[in-house]
């Protein structure tokens, strides 16, 4: 008797699991680029459209009088990386949403009629979270620089804009393919830098160094440092920007001024092993919790690293590499009192008549830091705008907070990527977080801050 | 147009399979024989209907004449199986024979969809096996010496497994088959039946501590040889069967608890010691992360099940051939992909109803030898179904066993048909136990012709 019940329980568990898998987990597998099953659907279904949140068409399939299908992208380069392409392989949303674009939830009657007359059915449309005017603003803000800009709502995880340059025209990708591939070694046009580009974080990393310092020193408010423009320890000298002295400053002042000397000093006081553990907690070295392609950020300094490496790492140089998406997620979590929301690009899927088939709701990844810690960082990031390196943003109709960075790269001294990560608030509107990286553009204050300001201005206009 | 038929029949088959499954459980309710008989007749009509629709679709898409022959040959087989049971064994369980045909039918359909030639081969083996197994119930009734061959079962079992361990051919890291004259057989499929007979014979004599000790030692030898052959699924099946039989024979829950604890410890040790076990566990926990390697099979299986959804892609609309070993261990995924998860869930329930029947018979039999045989065979069947379906759906780590009666494989289908034959024999035995006044000669004859007439009529109606 007991045995019978045991078996019934086992099989019940199995069946409940199968239903759960189909409803909740199957998507991860269906959308895998390894799943080649989807492509056979295109024999029965016309690929659906990809739409912006306002209903603008970002990608659609056009059938000419001969019945030849071609994919058209009305905004050309503007959404190149985020929307992607579906010829010559697949990328972007065209890849991750392939399954949905090739399924048809058109009305049964319509499908039967199409079937009987030998016509293809219209696939489902994917409605994204992307905002056309914000994407345009971000695209303009990055100007002629290579790099990336991301805009997201910290409280929901909706990504409103995602720009990566250099870019390509998805309409002519098949014709341009050979040229793009041959140039790819130099400029990686196909790489979505926003999610997959790995950059030294520069001073934006001081957010993490500060958090670790606060955790190790409950009396961090008493911290004080007298900056004379350089800091030397174990034979290595760290320079502040243009070696200009910041003089007496506390932790908030060091953060607002982005004082390298002070942070080199802080770095040496930290427990390198705990710092490494914090980075793991903050998703370094792992796949970010997003349902699109992204690279894993890297952090390697540990207890056995040299003093020089520890100091370099504390100011965001050294061997640390991050994706713009990762920095955006950290800034968003701070703006959202420590809670990280899962970034997502698709709001819902609807059939060809606009009837909703599937909705993607905001979801919480986890509490990345204590709400109190987040609030202190919010205060510090506000100081960066009110009295520090991003003061160009002060005095606007919105309250901006953030951190600038000038990340040195390559062997030549003085060449640097310009960074800004932060967010802004205005009563009555949803907050937005922004990450800007402009390659080789110089200082964060000079290039990245004005770019971010353009986006905030456009959004809060 | 063809696609439309594929679509419509897909939903109809799911609906019919759901009705069939409902009947599987409805018959367990106490009711008069007439209603029972009606239910069984309904089931067999549904079986022929699903079979017809599936082959219609297969033929419309593939346009292969072999399918037509296969279709009619299979119908003849089902008619023969069902009628000969009623002709020779009117007291046999119609639920078991219906389910046997249903499972065979689903297997025939999905195998023909994947590979017509292999499906033909499988059909021939299944037909031969089914004919062979018709004599089993009468053997059980007439031959009384089965319970006295105790050590013969153990010797053949251990020797057979040892030969496979030493001389077997390796497939996916495990040694499970022997190649004899170009035919590949899996001795463990048959040895598990002998093993059940051995254990039943031992505990039939006595359940004293020394007897339990000896039996456990011999059982451990079986299991260990399988572990050394890296046939983890097989080892688990033998182990569970022994444990359940031990528990029921001795009625001591302590044995069950101790056995399960020992099994858990052994699993942990095996995980620490063997890299192939670690690989299986890794492929189970995060298959996408090792998709190019050990996770490939399970990912392909989940792609199939996930893409198929609740209603399936329709026959020939999916890509089951992408899954390695789809016809053997991963047949369930192919069914879920093309016929739908609902259909596949019904299939699980049909297996569960077989299992309930096995245990039902075990509980009601008074003869302790056959009681234990029914229980052991039931456990083997249940564990095997659970391991294969759980494995291909990532519910548990994959162990590489076949789905009885559905999967491709001669040894598997023959051994399962033997099991079903034994179960039918025991069912008849139970009926005899409960009905001492039964008039053996007259009652049976008049009953069987009547049944036969009805069945032919049913079939013509379709």
Q: What is the pLDDT of residues B31-50, one digit of tens each?
A: 788 888 899 999 999 999 99
Average pLDDT, integer, range B278-301:
88
Name the strands in the sheet holding A69-72, side by side, starting at the edge strand that comes first in the sequence.
Answer: A69-72, A57-63, A50-51, A125-128, A346-350, A356-359
Evaluate the CA torsion angle A388, A392, A393, A397 in order and state its sign.
Answer: positive
Which residues have CB under 8 Å from A351's CB, separation 6+?
A104, A105, A106, A107, A122, A124, A125, A357
B400 and B391 in contact (C-beta within 8 Å)?
Answer: yes
Average pLDDT over residues B160-175: 81
Cα A113 from Cα A119, distance rounded (Å): 8
CB contact under 8 A, A22 and B4: no
Q: What is the pLDDT of residue B435?
A: 64
Provide the b/e sequence for A221-240 (b: ≥16 CB within 10 Å). eebebebebebeeeeeebbb
Report the alpha-carbon distance of residue A114 to residue B302 in Å, rounded.
31
With an 8 Å Cβ cutoff, is B322 touching chain A? yes
State the smallest CA–CA distance between residue B444 and chain A in angstroms: 33
Torsion of CA A148, A149, A154, A158, to 10 degrees: -90
Among candidate residues A85, A39, A83, the one with its CA nearest the CA of residue A57:
A83
Q: Which of B376, B52, B8 is nearest to B203 (CA)?
A: B376
Q: Residues for chain A: how many in total? A: 461
Average pLDDT over residues B126-151: 89
Instruction: Report how far residue B83's alpha carbon sits from residue B159's, in angstroms, rounded to the nearest whole number.
Output: 39
- pLDDT, residue B448, reads 40
Q: What are the tokens at B242? A: 């022994």
List the domain boundaries for chain B. Answer: 2-145+282-461, 148-276
Contact of A20 with chain B, judged by CB distance below 8 Å, is answered with no
The whole-angstrom distance between A123's CA and the closest CA on chain B is 16
- Distance between CA B301 and CA B331 in Å, rounded? 9
What is the average pLDDT score of chain B? 88
How many Å apart are CA B170 and CA B156, to the nearest integer?
22
The pLDDT, as a whole number, for residue B182 is: 76
Confidence of residue B294 (pLDDT cuts 50, 70, 90): confident
Size of interface A-B (CB pairs under 8 A): 98
Q: What domains appear along chain A, each with residue ranges and CATH number?
A: 202-345+361-460 (3.40.710.10)
Any chain A CB within 8 A of the CB of B290?
no
**Which of the 8 DSSP states describes residue A445?**
I
Beta-carbon contacts of B89 under 8 Å, excluding residues fewer than 6 positions away, are B137, B138, B424, B428
pLDDT category, B437, cuts 50, 70, 90? very low
The model's pLDDT over B93-126, given as tens digits with 9 standing for 90+, comes to 899 999 999 999 999 999 999 999 999 999 999 9
Is residue A185 very low, low, confident or very high in pLDDT (cuts 50, 70, 90)? low
- By C-alpha distance, which of A341, A384, A364 is closest to A210? A384
CB spacing of A32 vs B299 below 8 angstroms: yes
A19 touches chain B (CB under 8 A): yes
- For residue A439, the model assigns a pLDDT of 94
Kindly tell me if the per-residue pLDDT of B443 is higher than 50.
no
pLDDT category, A340, cuts 50, 70, 90? very high
What is the per-residue pLDDT for B462?
Answer: 33
Cβ–Cβ of A7/B248 closer than 8 Å?
no
Averaged pLDDT, B428-444: 61
Residue labelled with tokens 């997201």: A152
Chain A residues within 8 A of B7 when measuring between CB atoms: 115
CA angle, A376 then A378 then A379, to 5°: 65
Of B307, B386, B395, nearest to A35 by CB-CB distance is B307
Q: Residues B366-380: what's their mean pLDDT?
A: 94
Q: How far apart are CA B301 and CA A40, in angstroms?
A: 17
Mean pLDDT for A351-370 is 93
pTM of the full predicted structure? 0.77
Mean pLDDT throughout A35-63? Answer: 89
Q: Is the pLDDT of residue B83 over 50?
A: yes
Q: Do A11 and B303 touch (CB under 8 A)?
A: no
pLDDT in tens, A368-425: 999 999 999 999 999 999 999 999 999 899 999 999 999 988 766 678 999 999 999 9
B386 reaches A (C-beta below 8 A):
yes
Could you report the per-residue pLDDT of B198-238, keeping only the tens digit for each? 999 999 998 899 999 999 999 999 999 998 888 889 999 99
Nearest to A14 among B253, B322, B390 (CB): B390
pLDDT at B455 over 60: no
Flag whether pLDDT at B7 surpasses 90.
no
Instruction: Using alpha carbons, select from A107, A323, A6, A370 the residue that is nearest to residue A215.
Output: A370
Task: For strands A225-227 and A247-249, give the pairing.
Answer: antiparallel
Look at residue A125 and give its three-state secondary structure: strand
Q: What is the pLDDT of residues B54-71, one digit of tens each?
A: 999 999 999 999 999 999
| A67 compared with A161, residue with greater pLDDT | A161
| Residue B389 confidence (pLDDT) above 50 | yes
Band of pLDDT at residue B456, cut at 50, 70 and 90 = very low
Q: Is B364 on the interface with A (CB under 8 A)?
A: no
Q: Which chain B positions have a beta carbon within 8 Å of A20's beta carbon?
A: none
- Model confidence band, residue B460 (pLDDT cutoffs 50, 70, 90): very low
* B284, B307, B343, B384: best to mutate for the A interface, most A CBs within 10 A: B307
pLDDT digits (tens, 9 = 90+) for A232-242: 998 889 999 88
Quote the tokens at residue A247.
């003089």
Q: Which of A2, A4, A285 would you mutate first to test chain B, the one with the most B CBs within 10 A?
A: A4
SS3 A163: strand
- d(Cα A349, Cα A3) in Å, to the nearest integer? 46
Residue A116: pLDDT over 80: no
How many of the other CB atoms lie within 10 Å of CB of A281? 12
Q: With an 8 Å Cβ cutoff, is B390 touching chain A?
A: yes
Q: Please report the residues numbered 31 through 60 in chain A whose beta carbons come closer than 8 angstroms to any beta carbon of chain B.
A: 32, 34-38, 40, 44
Chain B residues touching residue A118 (CB < 8 angstroms)? 1
Residue B447 has pLDDT above 50, yes or no: no
What is the rounded (10 degree) CA torsion for A75, A80, A83, A84? 130
Report the pLDDT averaged over residues A71-85.
Answer: 95
Percent of chain B residues topping a pLDDT of 70: 94
Q: Give one word for A244, left, alpha or beta, with left for phi > 0 and alpha for psi -120 to 50.
A: beta
At residue B406, does pLDDT exceed 70?
yes
ipTM: 0.90
Q: What is the pLDDT of residues A209-254, one digit of tens each?
A: 999 999 999 999 999 999 999 999 988 899 998 889 999 999 999 9
Instruction: Provide the mean pLDDT of chain A.
Output: 92
**Look-up: residue for tokens 């009805």?**
B454
Q: Which of residues 406 through 435 in chain A touch B, CB cutoff 8 A? A: none
Across the range A180-195, mean pLDDT stands at 83
């Amino acid at each position: 008797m007991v045995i019978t019940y045991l078996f019934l329980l086992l099989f019940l568990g199995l069946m409940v699991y199968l239903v759960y898998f189909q409803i909740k987990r199957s998507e991860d597998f269906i959308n895998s680029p390894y799943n080649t099953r989807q492509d056979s659907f295109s024999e029965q279904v016309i690929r659906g459209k990809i739409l912006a949140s306002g209903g603008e068409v970002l990608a659609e399939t056009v059938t000419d009088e001969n019945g030849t299908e071609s994919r058209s992208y009305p905004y050309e380069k503007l959404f190149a990386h985020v929307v992607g392409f579906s010829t010559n392989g697949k990328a972007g949303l065209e890849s991750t949403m392939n399954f949905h674009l090739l399924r048809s939830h058109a009305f049964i009657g319509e499908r039967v009629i199409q079937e009987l007359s030998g016509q293809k059915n219209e696939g489902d449309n994917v409605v994204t979270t992307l905002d056309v005017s914000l994407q345009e603003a971000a695209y303009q803000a990055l100007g002629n620089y290579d790099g990336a800009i991301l805009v997201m709502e910290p409280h929901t995880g909706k990504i409103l804009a995602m720009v990566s340059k250099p870019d390509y025209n998805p309409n002519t990708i098949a014709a341009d393919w050979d040229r793009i591939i041959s140039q790819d070694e130099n400029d990686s046009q196909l790489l979505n830098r926003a999610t997959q580009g790995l950059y030294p974080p520069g001073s934006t990393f001081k957010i993490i160094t500060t958090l670790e310092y606060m955790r190790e020193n409950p009396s961090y408010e008493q911290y004080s440092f007298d900056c004379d423009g350089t800091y030397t320890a174990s034979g290595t000298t760290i320079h502040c920007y243009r070696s200009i002295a910041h003089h007496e400053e506390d932790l908030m002042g060091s953060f607002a001024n982005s004082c390298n000397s002070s942070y080199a000093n802080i770095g040496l006081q930290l427990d390198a092993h705990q710092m490494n553990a914090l980075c793991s907690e903050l998703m370094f070295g792992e796949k970010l919790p997003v349902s699109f392609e992204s690279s894993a950020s890297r952090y390697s300094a540990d207890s056995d690293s040299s003093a020089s490496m520890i100091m370099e790492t504390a100011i965001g140089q050294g061997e640390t590499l991050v994706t713009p998406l990762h920095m955006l997620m950290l800034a968003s979590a701070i703006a959202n009192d420590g809670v990280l929301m899962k970034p997502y690009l698709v709001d819902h899927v609807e059939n060809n008549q606009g009837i909703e088939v599937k909705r993607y709701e905001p979801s919480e990844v986890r509490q990345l830091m204590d709400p109190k810690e987040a609030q202190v960082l919010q205060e510090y990031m506000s100081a960066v705008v009110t009295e520090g390196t991003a003061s160009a943003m002060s005095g606007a109709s919105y309250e901006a907070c953030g951190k600038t960075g000038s990340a040195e790269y390559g062997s030549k001294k003085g060449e640097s990527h310009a960074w800004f990560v932060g967010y802004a608030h205005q009563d009555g509107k949803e907050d937005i977080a922004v990450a800007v990286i402009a390659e080789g553009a110089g200082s964060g204050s000079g290039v990245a801050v004005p770019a971010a300001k353009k986006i905030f201005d456009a959004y809060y206009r | 147009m063809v696609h439309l038929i594929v679509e419509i029949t897909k939903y109809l088959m799911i609906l019919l399979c759901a009705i069939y499954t409902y009947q599987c459980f409805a018959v367990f309710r106490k009711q008069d024989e007439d209603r029972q008989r009606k239910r069984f007749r309904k089931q067999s009509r549904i079986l022929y209907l699903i079979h017809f629709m599936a082959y219609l679709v297969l033929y419309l898409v593939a346009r292969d004449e072999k399918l037509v022959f296969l279709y009619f040959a299979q119908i003849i087989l089902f008619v023969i199986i069902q009628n000969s049971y009623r002709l020779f064994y009117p007291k046999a369980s119609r639920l078991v024979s219906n389910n046997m045909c249903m499972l065979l039918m689903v297997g025939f359909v999905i195998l023909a969809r994947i590979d017509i030639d292999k499906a033909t081969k499988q059909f021939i083996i299944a037909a031969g096996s089914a004919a062979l197994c018709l004599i089993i119930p009468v053997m059980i009734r007439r031959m009384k010496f089965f319970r006295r061959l105790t050590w013969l079962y153990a010797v053949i079992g251990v020797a057979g497994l040892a030969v496979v361990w030493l001389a077997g051919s390796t497939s996916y890291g495990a040694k499970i088959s022997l190649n004899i004259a170009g035919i590949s057989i899996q001795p463990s499929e048959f040895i598990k039946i002998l093993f059940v007979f051995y254990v039943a014979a031992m505990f039939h004599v006595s359940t004293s501590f020394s007897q339990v000790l000896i039996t456990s030692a011999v059982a451990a030898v079986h299991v260990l040889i399988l572990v050394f052959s890296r046939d983890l699924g097989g080892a688990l099946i033998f182990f569970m069967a022994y444990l359940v039989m031990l528990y029921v024979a001795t009625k001591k829950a302590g044995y069950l608890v101790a056995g399960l604890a020992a099994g858990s410890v052994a699993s942990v040790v095996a995980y620490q010691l063997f890299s192939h076990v670690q690989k299986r566990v890794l492929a189970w926990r995060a298959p996408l992360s090792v998709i190019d390697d050990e996770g490939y099979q399970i990912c392909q299986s989940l792609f199939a099940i996930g893409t198929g959804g609740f209603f399936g892609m329709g026959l020939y609309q999916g890509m089951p051939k992408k899954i390695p070993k789809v016809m053997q261990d991963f047949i369930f995924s192919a069914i879920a992909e093309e016929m739908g998860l609902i259909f596949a869930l019904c299939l699980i329930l049909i297996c569960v109803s077989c299992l309930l029947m096995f245990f039902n018979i075990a509980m009601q039999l008074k003869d302790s030898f056959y009681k234990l045989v029914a229980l052991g065979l039931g456990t083997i069947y249940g564990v095997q179904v659970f391991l294969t379906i759980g494995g291909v759906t990532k519910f548990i780590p994959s162990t590489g066993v076949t789905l009885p009666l559905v999967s491709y494989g001669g040894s598997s289908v023959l051994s399962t048909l033997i099991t079903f034959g034994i179960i039918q024999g025991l069912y008849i035995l139970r009926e005899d136990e409960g009905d001492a006044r039964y008039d053996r000669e007259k009652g049976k004859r008049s009953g069987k012709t009547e049944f036969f007439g009805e069945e032919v009529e049913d079939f013509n109606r379709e």
